[in-house]
């Protein structure tokens, strides 16, 4: 079993998403540490991409800031950041980025470096089940979990995806792109039952979750809750001073889902 | 030539979010059914003939031929289609398909506005709602087309993200599709994106090469020596090439927008300057930096201002079946002016890229040889921009 499973050993998991390099890597490092101290169970580290087609405006802007401010961050600098973080951070860390970032680096070079710096998984929203073969063999070779998605439109695909899933399953809460939503109407409990019929691995719900109440609601049916845009907004608002606010937010959210 | 997963050699595929997977599978199944349905094909053919004005003329450009002093030049006049470009071929096919699938709403991206205008037109004809995403910069460059789309009843959404051009319009249309799938068909405008789009768009555009073949056989009793068309995403060129792929003696030449030159950063010549990558649902060639960040491309032509190319073109390049040559802004503008004065035909600035290459190639060929240039669209939309390029400010 992968290390990612351990993130779900302490009650429901809270999974924050942070775009690396927004506004700079030093802030990212401090924000990750603050999240860990305040109860984050797993962290999604975003490697920025110029054209993030699955993201709403908040994370699009974060990608743009990360790629332009102070000359912009690179994949190599982000690997170095993870090396530094690993001296202090033991919880599972996964990368969230787009296929071209991995492909252009050289898939084997990228995924073997993930293993070297102790990245536990890879989330690629533009790699659906049909295209897993692009990276799955290398992920298996280097012990990096390739995370699978389930969406409200997945329906007849859920069984197939869930049976082959590894690490955890990323359940997309609603149609559309990432971003804060006032209301989530999808029947998560029904999706959860279908997932459970097909796999024992944990599943976490993401997209649109920002308030403790929403997180608590989602965690009733799910093993974990993923929050991206709400955290990026804190970074956008507070810039270099954001880490303490990120810490406070993570604490509040983790308490809400316990 | 397409394997089950929509691959062209290593290119193609379906690199899209899980949310869209059932939508593209549903589209593929519907297309596989209707492409062989006699009633669907009868309706589409009627739309092509009665509404779009097909077949388009294959015009012998006699003055141009004499002036260049080499190969005989024929122009495939897609500019004479209803809405003024080849885009209508694909749009009528997809709109009819969407209608059969029970969709009531079309969304589309557009660069120069030609695909947006065509989509808005089909939506008006078929009583469908229409939303067109267009880079904000392009809404300025092509203000007339924005007005045409609105006149036709479409909503035009200016896209402000990224470089505010065609690639961002595609990204935004994809985002919109993930948020509203049940009633909405994404009417993609080129031979790009995830499978089955490259195949569907190619099939609907293949009428161009089908007609060229028949028309030239009738006129000349033989096939052309070269077919030349411009390439952005690559739909008019794919349509112009498709039925000639099997005829190995016919040179297929795609003209990419080199912008200010392929040795500068201000270029959109994907095959000449890009490398293999994964973006907008497909594996193909893309202009990108060493970390895979998509490059901000540039061309005077909004319709060719795209950092990628359709996967079937990428494959034709890999196997050496088609050639892809760069044409600069300056060369395209000269060809725009040349064809206007020589033949009284104002080509779209996109098509002028193909005309420019033909002007270089024809004099090196023999008089008994034949070049067909696809004039993918008419140039009225470009007049203000070309005037500005030449230092003249005119009001539309």
> For residue B2, what pLDDT is reported?
43
pTM of the model: 0.96
Q: Pick the catalytic residue: B109, B312, B331, B343?
A: B109
Confirm whether B395 is domain-assigned. Answer: no
Residues 92-121 of A with CB under 8 A from B: 98-105
- CATH number (domain holding residue B237): 3.40.50.1100
Confirm whether B279 is domain-assigned. Answer: yes
Confirm whether B1 is domain-assigned. Answer: no
pLDDT of A1 > 60? The answer is no
Structure ipTM? 0.96
- Candidate from A140-149, B232-241, B280-289, B379-388 with smallest mean pLDDT: B379-388
Q: Pick the catalytic residue: B235, B284, B356, B376?
A: B376
- State the residue for tokens 């305040």: A38
B161 and A100 within 8 Å at the Cβ level: the answer is: no
Residue range B84-116, pLDDT digits in tens: 999 999 999 999 999 999 999 999 999 889 999
Asked whether residue B333 falls in the same domain as residue B361, the answer is yes
Last residue of a domain, one of B157, B177, B201: B201
> For residue B387, what pLDDT is reported?
95
pLDDT of B143 > 80? The answer is yes
Confirm whether B113 is domain-assigned. Answer: yes
Last residue of a domain, one of B201, B221, B250: B201
Asked whether residue B263 falls in the same domain as residue B281, the answer is yes
Mean residue pLDDT of chain B comes to 96
Interface test with B, best of A128, A175, A178, A205 (most B CBs within 10 A): A128
pLDDT of B122 > 80? The answer is yes
Asked whether residue B275 falls in the same domain as residue B360, the answer is yes
Which chain A residues touch B18 with a CB distance below 8 Å? 125, 128-129, 148-151, 153-154, 157, 161, 172
Give the number of domains in chain B: 2
Asked whether residue B321 falls in the same domain as residue B337, the answer is yes
- Candidate from A14-28, B8-22, B184-198, B379-393 with smallest mean pLDDT: B379-393
Confirm whether B78 is domain-assigned. Answer: yes
Asked whether residue B119 falls in the same domain as residue B264, the answer is no
Tokens of B337: 């002016």
A175 and B162 within 8 Å at the Cβ level: the answer is: no
User: How distant is the Cα of B285 from the closest Cα of chain A, in angstroms?
Assistant: 11
In chain A, where are the structural domains located?
A: 3-257
Confirm whether B215 is domain-assigned. Answer: yes
Asked whether residue B159 falls in the same domain as residue B70, the answer is no
Look up B109 and say whether it is catalytic: yes
Residue range A103-120, pLDDT digits in tens: 999 999 999 999 999 999
pLDDT of B49 > 90? The answer is yes
Confirm whether B145 is domain-assigned. Answer: yes
Asked whether residue B72 falls in the same domain as residue B126, the answer is no
Task: Using pLDDT thresholds of 50, 70 and 90, give the confidence band for residue B396.
Answer: low
A157 and B15 within 8 Å at the Cβ level: the answer is: no
> For residue B140, what pLDDT is reported?
86
pLDDT of A258 > 90? The answer is no
> For residue B15, what pLDDT is reported?
98
Interface test with A, best of B192, B289, B292 (most A CBs within 10 A): B292
The helix/strand/coil state of A81 is helix
Asked whether residue B161 falls in the same domain as residue B244, the answer is no
Asked whether residue B257 falls in the same domain as residue B108, the answer is no
Asked if residues A146 and A132 have their Cβ atoms less than 8 Å apart, the reply is: yes
> For residue B144, what pLDDT is reported?
87
Asked whether residue B229 falls in the same domain as residue B169, the answer is no
Asked whether residue B60 falls in the same domain as residue B135, the answer is no
Instruction: Report the distance separating Cα B311 and Cα B328, nearest Å.
Output: 23
**Which of A104, A155, A175 lies nearest to residue B291, judging by beta carbons?**
A104
- A125 and B CB contact within 8 Å: yes
A54 and B17 within 8 Å at the Cβ level: the answer is: yes
Instruction: Report the distance separating Cα B105 and Cα B123, nearest Å.
Output: 8
Domain range for residue B100?
Answer: 8-48+86-201
Q: Using a pLDDT cut of 70, give the percent of chain A over it.
A: 100
Q: Using a pLDDT cut of 70, give the percent of chain B over it.
A: 98
Last residue of a domain, one of B152, B174, B201: B201
> For residue B4, what pLDDT is reported?
58
Confirm whether B15 is domain-assigned. Answer: yes
Residue range A58-69, pLDDT digits in tens: 999 999 999 998
pLDDT of B210 > 60? The answer is yes
Which of B193, B198, B190, B189 lies closest to B1, judged by CA?
Answer: B198
- B168 and A CB contact within 8 Å: yes
Q: Using a pLDDT cut of 90, give the percent of chain A over it.
A: 90
Tell me the CATH class for A3-257.
alpha beta
């Amino acid at each position: 079993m992968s290390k990612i499973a351990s993130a779900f050993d302490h009650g429901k998991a809270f999974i924050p998403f942070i775009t690396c390099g927004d506004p700079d890597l030093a802030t990212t490092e401090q924000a990750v540490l603050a999240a860990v101290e305040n109860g984050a169970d797993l962290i999604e580290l975003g490697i920025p991409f110029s054209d993030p087609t699955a993201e709403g405006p908040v994370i699009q802007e974060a990608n743009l800031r990360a790629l332009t401010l102070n000359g912009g961050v690179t994949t190599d600098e982000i690997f170095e950041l993870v090396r530094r973080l690993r001296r202090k951070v033991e919880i599972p860390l996964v990368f969230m980025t787009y296929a071209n970032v991995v492909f252009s680096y050289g898939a084997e070079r990228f995924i073997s470096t993930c293993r070297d710096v102790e990245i536990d998984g890879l989330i690629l929203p533009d790699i659906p089940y049909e295209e897993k073969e692009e990276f799955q063999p290398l992920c298996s070779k280097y012990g990096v979990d390739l995370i699978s998605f389930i969406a409200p439109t997945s329906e007849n695909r859920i069984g197939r995806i869930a049976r082959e899933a590894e690490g955890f399953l990323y359940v997309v809460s609603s149609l559309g792109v990432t971003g804060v939503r006032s209301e989530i109407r999808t029947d998560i409990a029904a999706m959860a039952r279908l997932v459970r019929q097909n796999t024992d691995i944990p599943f976490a719900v993401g997209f649109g979750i920002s308030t403790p109440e929403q997180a608590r609601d989602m965690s009733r049916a799910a093993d974990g809750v993923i929050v991206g845009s709400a955290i990026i907004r804190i970074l956008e608002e507070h810039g270099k001073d954001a880490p303490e606010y990120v810490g406070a937010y993570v604490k509040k959210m983790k308490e809400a889902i316990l | 030539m397409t394997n089950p997963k929509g691959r062209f050699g290593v290119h193609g595929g379906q690199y899209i979010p899980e949310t869209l997977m059932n939508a593209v599978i549903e589209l593929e199944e519907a297309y596989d059914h209707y492409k062989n349905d006699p009633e669907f094909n009868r309706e589409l053919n009627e739309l092509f003939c009665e509404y779009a004005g097909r077949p388009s003329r294959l015009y012998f450009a006699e003055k141009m031929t004499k002036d260049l002093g080499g190969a005989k030049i024929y122009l495939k006049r897609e500019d004479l289609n209803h809405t003024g470009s080849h885009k209508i071929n694909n749009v009528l096919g997809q709109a009819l398909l969407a209608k059969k699938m029970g969709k009531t709403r079309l969304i589309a991206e557009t660069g120069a506005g030609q695909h947006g205008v065509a989509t808005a037109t089909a939506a008006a004809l078929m009583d469908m709602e229409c939303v067109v995403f267009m880079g904000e910069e392009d809404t300025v460059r092509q203000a007339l087309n924005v007005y045409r789309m609105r006149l036709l009843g479409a909503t035009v959404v200016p896209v402000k993200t990224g470089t505010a051009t065609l690639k961002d319009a595609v990204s935004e249309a994809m985002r919109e599709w993930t948020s509203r799938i049940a009633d909405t068909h994404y009417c993609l405008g080129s031979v790009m994106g995830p499978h089955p789009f490259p195949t569907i768009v190619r099939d609907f555009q293949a009428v161009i090469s089908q007609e060229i073949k028949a028309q030239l056989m009738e006129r000349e009793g033989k096939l052309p020596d070269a077919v030349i068309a411009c390439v952005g995403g690559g739909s008019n060129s794919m349509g112009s090439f498709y039925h000639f792929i099997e005829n190995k003696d016919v040179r297929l030449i795609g003209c990419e927008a080199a912008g200010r030159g392929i040795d500068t950063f201000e270029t959109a010549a994907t095959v000449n300057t890009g490398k293999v990558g994964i973006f907008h649902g497909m594996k193909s060639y893309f202009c990108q930096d060493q970390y895979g960040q998509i490059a901000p491309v540039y061309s005077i032509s909004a319709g060719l201002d795209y950092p990628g190319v359709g996967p079937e073109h990428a494959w034709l390049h890999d196997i050496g079946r088609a050639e892809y040559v760069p044409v600069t802004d300056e060369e395209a503008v000269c060809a725009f002016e040349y064809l206007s004065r020589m033949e009284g035909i104002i080509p779209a600035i996109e098509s002028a890229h193909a005309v420019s290459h033909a002007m270089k190639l024809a004099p090196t060929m023999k008089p008994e040889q034949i070049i067909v240039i696809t004039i993918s669209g008419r140039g009225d939309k470009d007049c203000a921009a070309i005037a500005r390029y030449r230092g003249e400010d005119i009001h539309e």
